[in-house]
Amino acid sequence: MTPPPTGQLLPPTHHVPEHGLVEYVAGAATDGAALAFACHVSLCGACAAEVAALENVGGTILEASPGQELGPGALDAVLARLESTPQLTTLSAESVAVPAFLAGCDLPAPLLRALPSAEGWRTVVPGMRVVDLPFALPGGAVRLVRFKGGATIPFHDHGGPEYIVVFTGALEEKSDGQRFGRGDVSIRLPGERHEQRATPGEPCVALVVNEGALRPLTLRGRLLLAIARD
């Protein structure tokens, strides 16, 4: 593989698996997974093309349906409402107030749409600032997280699937050194234990979706989690 020109980011190397994209396109993915996948897809040309292809399968299935007759007058009712329904020519530009320390992170549109406001950021443990995104996820959390360079997430297991999408900086797996950079998605299921750290020297901003509670497996992790819950 030839290195990219200086200043150009490599495309993501960790992707959403095919069955994940199928569930995403079918509208069967959980809310947290859908947000994570949407963020990855908006940063990954290959997966965006795959999503477009999968949507065309959906279109073909729609076309093949014999259909269900609508009640009488349905068309007239809709026609009567057209005049009061203005047509869009372009989507209005999104103006989301991004906190100053996130400027330059180039957050993808699906994330910006979910970002509540510039308020609400809190430091949960030293080296980790988070903002909760407005999703109802009992026992879990959907958060945008800013890790200080070198910050570690101690060895832990997961009470439910975990989806991480990195926007700036990188996260590294302690065990095998795998690196997750911009656009990369990391998916971990219950029973998959790991320890991660943000690459030293630069902060890492990532979407972290946990569909179940984290289960720290070290004393330090348990202490950090106890602090974080306050």
Torsion angle of the four alpha carbons 62, 68, 71, 77, in this order, in degrees rounded to the nearest 10: 10
151-154 long-range contacts (CB < 8 A, ≥24 apart) are: 151/127, 151/197, 151/198, 151/204, 152/195, 152/196, 152/197, 152/198, 153/195, 153/196, 153/197, 154/195, 154/216, 154/217, 154/218, 154/220, 154/221, 154/224
Q: Quick one: which of 11, 54, 99, 215 contacts another protein (CB under 8 A)?
A: 54
Asked if residue 22 binds another protein (CB under 8 A), the reply is yes
Closer by beta carbon to another protein, 91 or else 100: 91
Phi, psi of 219 (to 5 degrees): -60, -40
Phi-psi region of 183 (alpha: psi -120 to 50; beta: other; left: phi over 0): left
**Least distance from C-beta 98 to another protein, angstroms?**
17
Closer by beta carbon to another protein, 88 or else 100: 88
Question: Which of the stretches 14-22, 122-130, 160-168, 169-177 binds another protein when contact is defined by CB under 8 A?
Answer: 14-22
Give the residue from 9, 2, 5, 3 showing the smallest Cα distance to 166.
Answer: 9
Asked if residue 74 binds another protein (CB under 8 A), the reply is yes
Question: Which of the stretches 58-66, 174-182, 199-207, 216-224 binds another protein when contact is defined by CB under 8 A?
Answer: 58-66
Q: Are 38 and 207 in contact (CB under 8 A)?
A: no
Q: Quick one: which of 2, 85, 100, 103 contacts another protein (CB under 8 A)?
A: 85
Q: Quick one: which of 6, 8, 82, 95 contacts another protein (CB under 8 A)?
A: 82
Residue 150 has what DSSP assignment?
A: T
Residues from 161 through 200 that contact another protein (CB under 8 A): none
Residues from 110 through 139 that contact another protein (CB under 8 A): 110, 113-114, 135-136
Q: Rounded to whole angstroms, how far apart are CA atoms 208 and 164?
A: 5
Q: Quick one: which of 12, 14, 38, 141 contacts another protein (CB under 8 A)?
A: 38
**Least distance from C-beta 17 to another protein, angstroms?**
9
Residues that bind another protein (CB under 8 A): 18-19, 22-32, 34-35, 38, 49, 51-71, 74-75, 77-79, 81-82, 85-91, 109-110, 113-114, 135-136
